[in-house]
Amino acid sequence: MGRVSRASISLEPELFEQFDAFAATSGYATRSEAVKALMRSALVQQEWQGGRDVAGAIVMVYDHHRGSIVKKLTDVQHDFGELIVCSQHVHLDHHHCMEVVVVRGAAARIRQLLAGLKAVKGVKHSALMTATTGEGVR
């Protein structure tokens, strides 16, 4: 392990117990690993609030038999082609498909893409998994 800095924090006993339980059930080997993960998560969210280049994944579930939904979703994605790294189409059952669209670019533009995809009638669920390019988070 490289050089580290140490910090001390004061917590109410109840919060400390809750955090220990969180760390244990989340699979972190130590409290420090859990704290580092939460800190990185906060830094990623800060990247998404700022003007940084970010990464993420948009997940959608839809009924592919509904109208021309596949064409409409493809058209929206083509309008934002500079953001899309790749996509994966998965057949969940005879009617339902899941599509995962991996994105990288300006957060505001990615949110526009998400809004455009959500607006397509027949999309039953959509969600954005925010991530980082790794440049701003150590």
Residue 6 lies in a domain: no
Give the per-residue pLDDT at 51.
76
* All residues at 6 or more sequence positions from 132 whose CB lies less than 8 Å from its CB, including other chains: 40, 43, 44, 47, 54, 55
Q: What is the CATH number of the domain that holds 71?
A: 3.30.70.1150
Q: Does the pLDDT at position 1 exceed 70? A: no
pLDDT bucket at 137, cuts 50 / 70 / 90: confident
Give the per-residue pLDDT at 112.
97
Q: Is 64 in the same domain as 121? A: yes
Q: Is 70 in the same domain as 109? A: yes
| Stated pTM of the model | 0.85
User: Alpha carbon of 41 to those of 44, 65, 85, 105: distances in Å?
Assistant: 5, 38, 22, 18
Q: What is the CATH number of the domain that holds 37?
A: 1.10.1220
Q: Is 34 in the same domain as 61? A: no
For the record, the structure tokens of 21 come out as 């339980």
For the record, the structure tokens of 125 come out as 């669920």
pLDDT digits (tens, 9 = 90+) for 57-113: 999 999 999 889 999 999 999 999 999 999 999 999 999 999 999 999 999 999 999
Sign of CA dihedral 41, 47, 49, 54: negative
Site of tokens 């790794």: 134
